[in-house]
Amino acid sequence: MFGLKSQCVLDFEEEYRTLDDYQGRLSRWCPGCGDNGILSATQRLCRDEQLPPEKTVFVSGIGCAARFPHYMNTYGFHGLHGRALPTAQGVRIRRPDLHVFVNMGDGDCCSIGTAHWIHAVRMNMNMVAMLHDNNIYGLTKKQVSPTTPQGIRTNTTPSGAYLRALNPLSATLGVTNVSFVAQVVEWIPDLLYEVIKKAFHHKGFSFIRILQRCPHFLPDLYSSLLSNPDKLLLLRHDDGMEINDTIGRVYKNHEEHDPSNLNRAREIAEMGDMVPVGILYRNESVARYEDLRKPQRMPTWEQKQERLERAFDMFGIFPEDSEVSGNGNGEGS
């Protein structure tokens, strides 16, 4: 666990925070990596919403995308492979006052983290989960991932990927209690920002699949989408995404899609001829787990400290003549 540069947060009058206030370490992602665009859009959101860094936390697992918390000047938790979501849920249920974001790669979420992903959707806790989907394992140098298109050659499938790629949109839309599903591409910055903003303001578990380029291992994967804007379908609606005129002129295929229509959302997720961009589904009436399990009375800081010290004592090693004996229950002899 790591946090802000300052260990003390004073209650001064709030000042306007700039983008620099949310900049952590310098990015070590490859030049042209789509993760950089996602980082910029997220920092812009934090700036525009004036999120207090001491009230904001980014959680990740393992992979290229998992370096995200290092590049944000907020609290962060760089955890274990596939375990970002349960860690974020633990943060959320004990600290409901925090703004919680989760960043995962396609392996982190859709392979080793699949069980956590499915149940995170079902529990519908209030957080933003961003799936950085570049269709490849970049950190382990071009291994096949669950979302790798069939036939793509990787270091673990030199003859080509054998199976059809997993569809994260269809999988998420099929889970009980799903409340927000969106898809966007990282090379349209304004749409990327707007989708993340909509997800942030949604009350529940917001799942965003972000198609992102990996220029090092799969440089040509999305070249057809970049060269032919007609392959993208923009989802627009008064209760969904608003498309500005500039983007609307470049990307001419639009659909008036009501995000409350779950059946149509599932049909759109299965499209094979075009790639949908926007909000597929949104429903804020779904119950949130942290509300159902909210304690009637939160413990005081003194009670928290007492419980923490008692837990530490359970694993402590004390001299035989110490007042605290190692009797296994944290109590004195």
Q: What is the DSSP string of 212-244?
A: --BTTTBTTTTHHHHH-GGGEEEEE-TTSPPPP
Q: How many CB atoms lie within 10 A of CB 187?
A: 15
Q: Please give the distance of CA 86 from its chain centroid, rounded to a whole number.
A: 12
Residue ranges covered by each domain of the chain: 19-289, 299-333
Residue 231 CA to chain centroid, in angstroms? 26
> 273: part of which helix (H) or strand (E)?
none
Q: Rounded to whole angstroms, how far apart are CA atoms 278 and 295? A: 36
**Cβ–Cβ under 8 Å, residues 209 and 277:** no
Distance CA 16, CA 91 (A): 27
User: Could you read off the pLDDT tens digit of each residue along the chain, which spans 333 residues?
Assistant: 556 655 555 554 568 999 999 999 999 999 999 999 999 999 999 999 999 999 999 999 999 999 999 999 999 999 999 999 999 999 999 899 999 999 999 999 999 999 999 999 999 999 999 999 999 999 999 999 999 999 999 999 999 999 999 999 999 999 999 999 999 999 999 999 999 999 999 999 999 999 999 999 999 999 999 999 999 999 999 888 888 899 999 999 999 999 999 999 999 999 989 999 999 999 999 999 999 987 777 778 898 899 889 988 888 887 776 665 544 444 444
User: Reduced to 3 states, what is the DSSP secondary structure of residue 173?
Assistant: helix
What b/e readout covers 229-264, taking b as 16+ CB neighbours within 10 angstroms? Answer: eeebbbbbbeebbebeeebeeebeeeeebebeebeb
Buried b (16+ CB within 10 A) or exposed e, 137-156: bbbeebbbbbbbeeebebee
- Cβ proximity of 185 and 283 under 8 Å: no
pLDDT at 293: 85
Amino acid (one-letter) located at 51: L
Structural element, H or E, at residue 311:
helix 301-314
Q: Which residue has the tokens 């993340």?
A: 196
Which helix (H) or strand (E) covers residue 251, if one does?
none
d(CA 66, CA 32): 17
Please report the pLDDT score of residue 317 as a whole number: 80
End-to-end CA gap in the chain: 34
Compute the distance between CA of residue 116 and CA of residue 273 in angstroms, rounded to an integer.
31
* 8 Å CB contact between 205 and 180: yes
Assess contact for 172 and 178: CB atoms under 8 A: yes
What is the CATH T-level fold of the domain 19-289, as seen in this structure? Rossmann fold (3.40.50)
The pTM of this model reads: 0.86
Alpha-carbon distance of 77 to 72, in angstroms, equals: 11
Pairing of strands 275-282, 180-185: antiparallel
Query: What 3-state class would DSSP assign to 281?
Result: strand
* Predicted pLDDT of residue 193: 97
Give the β-pairing of 99-105 and 56-60: parallel
CA gap 123, 276 in Å, rounded: 26
